[in-house]
Amino acid sequence: MKKTLLIVSALICFGCQQAADQPAFPDGTWLDLSYDYSSETIYWPTSEPFRFDTVFAGHTEAGFYYTAYQFCSAEHGGTHMDAPIHFSEGKKSVDQLPIEQLVGPAVVIDVSTRALRNPDYLVSVDDIRLWESSHGKLADGQIVLLKTGYGQFWPDAEKYMGTAERGPEAVAKLHFPGLAPAAATWLVENRNIRMIGLDTPSIDYGQSTLYESHQILFEANISALENVANLDKLPLQGAYVIALPMKIKDGSGGPVRIAAWIPPGNE
């Protein structure tokens, strides 16, 4: 017991010393990789749009100012996370994902030159290998972010998704890039990534009907970030990403605020 108290005291003293000597986080730049939620937020054609209602806004009878609102949102809209259970029975729901799986070093694989010429572009194994030929093999535990260039179209649904129409019939009209199922399989079998994300509405491309990349990744308990913002401002490597979704019990996903820390010299 005495030994335990001594260790705890030492850690407290060390923490206090760190707080006095340096900032809580090293120097660098913080970048928000999330879109806000509003009437402009893009959702899947079959999902209800974001709703934001006023409960009260103004001065109360007691004289003080007060605001309160309520909102309604589908799990999968705006900048959000897909949990493995979304497409894999028995896998982790969003509340079961451990914190250590939601944070980590990030790399950006830029395929925008090709993807912007082809709205049905599939990010391939060759794209990943091409990145590795210049930057080295993907290290264990990295968060892989795919930059297709489609973030520049947000929040124009027609340019971003291929259609602004709503309802089940609109799904067949979706056109945007995604990850090829063969590349998803290759990542699962040959690399040990922590999470994957991209700047389009889905990890599978718009014309997918089986959502195979979802199935492959989620069976391996690899979560996906969708509608990621500002990938054009993120360096190809060196950043550290924190992606903490709303903790919805048994949820298949949820809105997420993604923050990236960029160390000095990597901006």
pLDDT of residue 264: 87
Burial environment of residue 207 by CB neighbours within 10 A (0 to 12, 13 to 18, 19 or more): middle
Cα 225 from Cα 177, distance rounded (Å): 14
Q: What value does the mean pLDDT take over residues 102-118?
A: 98
Residue 24: pLDDT band (50, 70, 90) is low
b/e burial code for range 177-194 (CB count within 10 A of at least 16 → b)? bbbbbebbbbbbeeeebb
- Catalytic pick from 59, 86, 135, 214? 86
Q: What value does the mean pLDDT take over residues 231-258?
A: 97
CA 67, 73, 75, 76 dihedral sign is: negative
What count of other Cβ atoms lies within 10 Å of the Cβ of residue 233?
16
Q: What value does the mean pLDDT take over residues 256-267?
A: 89
Residue 163: pLDDT band (50, 70, 90) is very high
Is the pLDDT score of 225 beyond 90? yes
pLDDT of residue 267: 62
pLDDT of residue 27: 84
Residue 86 appears among annotated catalytic residues: yes
What are the residues facing 258 on neighbouring strands?
243
Percent over 70 (pLDDT), the chain? 90
Cα 88 from Cα 68, distance rounded (Å): 37
Domains of the chain as residue ranges with CATH: 26-46+76-262 (3.50.30.50)
pLDDT tens for 167-190 read 999 999 999 999 999 999 999 999
pLDDT of residue 265: 75
Dihedral angle over CA of 85, 258, 225, 71, nearest 10: 60
